[in-house]
Amino acid sequence: MGSFELATTPLHLGLGATAVPQPAFDGEVSWYEGYAMRHSEDGAEGRLVSMHTFDNSWDVWEMHPSGSEVVLCVSGKMTLIQEMDGQPVATTVGPGQAAINPPGMWHTADVHQPTTALFITAGMGTEHRPR
């Protein structure tokens, strides 16, 4: 297989050390539902690798109950806000810096300038709530 753009073609890391490019990401909830159906057999061990560019702070909180999420800032600067014991804890990351969202931890982000980040997510059971 040739090269592909991670920003438009996310990647699934699955059981047996597999790496499977996904259909083009369209930003819709139905894309995530299709992803979950395609890879449900990998359970909590499956990982979604994606890259997104943000111009604005997030308007939702999210939480991944089945595993950790790695957030690697590729360019720009963002502040990851994690909810620990009901209190927000902020960690700012710039290019080349990473943070980890532990399983079950609610998190969101403030974006200080256009920012691109790479995510490695244990997405099974992900939940969202308004910010």
pTM strictly above 0.85: yes
At 90-131, the pLDDT tens digits run: 999 999 999 999 999 999 999 999 999 999 999 899 999 999
Q: Quote the strand ranges of 43-114, DSSP E.
A: 47-54, 60-63, 69-75, 78-84, 87-93, 98-101, 107-111
- What confidence score (pLDDT) does residue 29 get? 82
H runs (alpha helix) in the chain: 29-39
Task: Name residue 78's amino acid.
Answer: M
- What confidence score (pLDDT) does residue 28 get? 84
CB 52 within 8 A of CB 117: yes
Which class is domain 11-130?
A: mainly beta
At 25-63, the pLDDT tens digits run: 998 888 988 999 999 999 999 999 999 999 999 999 999
**Looking at the predicted structure, is the pLDDT value of residue 1 above 70?**
no
Q: How many CB atoms lie within 10 A of CB 94?
A: 13
Query: Structure tokens of 34?
Result: 């299709």
CB 80 within 8 A of CB 99: yes
- What confidence score (pLDDT) does residue 2 get? 86
d(CA 128, CA 106): 9
- What confidence score (pLDDT) does residue 127 get? 92
Q: How many CB atoms lie within 10 A of CB 4?
A: 13
- What confidence score (pLDDT) does residue 38 get? 94
Can you give the residue ranges of every domain in the chain? 11-130
